[in-house]
Structure 1
Amino acid sequence: MSPAPLDLPTVRTAPKALLHDHLDGGLRPATVLELARECGYDRLPADNADDLAAWFADAASSGSLERYLETFEHTVAVMQTPEGLARVARECALDLAADTVVYAEVRFAPEQHLERGLSLDEVVHHTLLGFEEGVALAADRGQQIRIGCLLTAMRHAARSLEIAELAVRFRDRGVVGFDIAGAEAGHPPSRHLDAFEHMRANNAHFTIHAGEAFGLPSIHEAIAFCGADRLGHGVRITDDITVGKADRAELGRLADYVRDKRIPLELCPSSNVQTGAVASLEKHPFDLLARLRFRVTVNTDNRLMSATSMSEEMVKLATTFGYGWSDLERFTINAMKSAFIPFPDRLRLIDEVVKPGYAVLIG
């Protein structure tokens, strides 16, 4: 039996696992417009879905992480009500399920959704309700997905301990972990040690945005001082890798440690190019890190800003680096091994969903 063609329609049928996806970076353009009208937000840069989608993609492609982050002003602005939060979460679950994402961890920063009087607990409650509704609706359509929510603290603010406490409080209601995000330069992860200590004291999982716009010091702090379970992006780990003649690679102590400890890298190819973390997809270190057997995972980061999906990210990587179905299966299993859900649940998804799904495609 020959392998299935590795094209976008077929990749859409493959089971996928997603660890790094921002809720406020994945809205449907039409939803942004409708929610803006409902809440009276009049600062959108376009008045129809196609033009708005193009604006987000263009504005996010500046090559600057700071400029990229400015696009979220518009999406966050329309996610300030119970109805808005629930709708965005519901549609997120449906869109991912339609792309055959069988497991996803979706993150957002509750502290950014308080402008209309909601409390942090209310923000999380309504978002989780939206995810539950979306998962149930997807199941009715024959599409199975499990979603875990990550609560993010903004690294330039001073609420990280409060958000970590919130993550622990909701850990049995759909929240699976904690994260810090935002501009890296000038905001090292070590400023939030009390939040990470709270997570460790409660045997809870967390990831840290590190090594995207800033280099090895950010990664070192995230691992050595903060104890991160995973690295959000982490592309700059290649600053500690020297490639010599015959493509022989020499790893520095930090890169060696990351690989030895199997610390997962939440790589987001399209987004990494947009923010200037890498010059182009062809120069993305994904393939180097995959060949060196780092635990690489494929992620979307922000589906609206990057005009992408998990299937599209996989096809781009396969086209650029010559990957086959076995490679895509390995990256998916890497993600499932690294998920913030109990081991038996990870194993069940790998053995009962991921492997059988790829066996059909591998032929």
Structure 2
Amino acid sequence: MRYLLVTFIDMERSLKQRPHYLVEYLRGNGSLHVLSIKYGQKVGKRKIKNCGDYINIAVECRFIDLFNENFLYDRLEPNSYYDVVICEGPWAGLLGIRLKDRGQARLYVYEDIDYFPAFFEYDYIYEIVRSMENRCMTKADVIFSVSNTLKELRSSYIDKNKIYLSPNGIEKINKTTDLKENIILYAGTIDEWSGLDLVIRAYSEITTVETRSRLLIYGDGKMTKEYNNMINRLKIADRAFIKGKISHKKLLDIYSRSLIGLCLLKPTELVRYSFPIKLIEYMASGLLVIATKCGDMERIINESGSGILIDYGKEQIKDAILQLLGMNAIKRQEMMSNGIEYAKRYKWDNIFEDELSVIRARLQV
């Protein structure tokens, strides 16, 4: 079987994400090429690297180049043929359509990993991306949606018989220490929708009544400087820290020692259809979770019994953190065990085996 995965994750430089785990799974199931996009000014530059059991083709481009339907197609070898082309998002999907229409792919699979129009503030770009997304999914042979809310949305206007749920997952259950430190943790993108502005304000009030905890924030993003300034203005720089990016291995070590994991994302359209991978990673490491009542986060916390759901607000965040910090050991251990057990449903190998079973069945039709 010959596969092509098209992703907008820089496979060589970014932290491990869904496409990295998909590559690890697929490379043992056939011949694999990966077309990965990196943003830069050397438009069209290709770097081909033989990674042993797969070929990575890194293509440099500007964001505007992705709206050119020929751009990615022209970066492949002429007359390339694949049994299966797997495309993450609408810009990758344009390549999938082209390969299928030209007889260069037997099966075109669309990985529906986000509601992409919601990334854009301007109505004009929002509508262009929404139209691209709809076209790419209408033409796809199979769609794998990452969340229940996204699958339900797509099923309202696309043939639901070709749409399957394929959530984000974990590599394994993380070893956790018996004695947790009073670390309140956020890991992920530092953006306006991350909810960190309310978290920092709530934590500044917590420090006036509680003295043992620390707030640790791992990641980066456009709001990093603003939130660092906020920490300094509120005079909590001795208790709250933005640590930046670290390796996934080091992050898992922090998880294992931490007590509370925050997934207090602002309930926007983007968040409503997302499946935050941090939620399952927190559970797999035995963290107590606080999450916003929005999208799949609400369902996951209700099903797992691993934490607290709250409405999005500063006072609600403050009360939830104080509740978990003051929780008795028996109840705390029960929540941790619930989360670990629930996370076992979301192992990457099982998720991708389900995907491959669908793909094999479709190829035999």
- Confirm or deny a common fold (TM above 0.5): no
Larger-gyration structure (1/2)? 2
Structure with the greater relative contact order (CA < 8 A, sep ≥ 6): 1 or 2?
1
TM-score by length of 2: 0.33
